Amino acid sequence: MPNHQITIEILWMLLLAVYAFSVIFLTKIVYHYMIKKGFQKKQVIYYNRKFIHIFAGGVVVLLVPFLFSSPWLPLFSAMIMGLVTFIAHKSGNSFYWFQTGRDFNDVSFCFMWGIAIFILWIILGNPWIAIIPPAFIAFGDGITGIIRNLAFKERRKHPIGNIYMMGVCIPIGYYFASGGIPSIPVWGVIAAIFASFFERYEFGLIDDNILVASIATFILYVGGKFGPI
């Protein structure tokens, strides 16, 4: 890669980092506003986390194929963001407006966002397919959490969220898996269905972000190797 291209991509990485942190700190304003309006603290924290999923993780992942020629800088950015959120937890919830002491899902979100992009881009050579799993955990899981929070006023697993997630993820999977080579739109739909179903489950340290991104990555990998169906 030419040096000037590397420089441009590093600048984009830094600009996107500024944007993502701007979203994070704007949700601090949302937190204090909603607390003043009488919302419960845990309810506001959960809303904020989903807002960050969508407007930071989601918006940024849609720009990745346009701005980067390889998955290395997106992976690096995700690892740094994951480390920052992990340190914030360990330092006493510095990001108190979207973190809780016992819930490290925001950390796993960052790591899986970057890892899924890296694996699929390296193996399949298609950045559009590579952004599907992080788009699932950003937009799909984001809307799922908002719907459940509206319905139950707390973080609770319920099928209603999975139905809404499927409604968001199926078009994402179909559309982004259709572009480039390989073109595997049906596999994108299959990944969306399985990811939406398994979002409801967590197994110890394997939370929904890890489960959703891993299942989607595996199915898209299989689809990329077997080809269209």
- pLDDT single digits (tens) 192-202: 999 999 988 88
Q: Which of 73, 74, 96 is nearest to 85 (CA)?
A: 96
Residues facing residue 100 across a β-bridge? 103
pLDDT of residue 212: 96
- pLDDT < 50 regions, the chain: none
The first and second tokens of residue 139, run together, are 């937009």
d(CA 36, CA 138): 28
User: What are the C-alpha distances in Å from 214 to residues 14, 31, 137, 171?
Assistant: 27, 31, 11, 19
d(CA 198, CA 179): 26
pLDDT of residue 154: 64
d(CA 126, CA 183): 9
Give pLDDT tens digits for 73-104. Answer: 999 999 999 999 999 988 876 799 999 877 88
Are 132 and 188 in contact, with CB atoms under 8 Å apart? yes
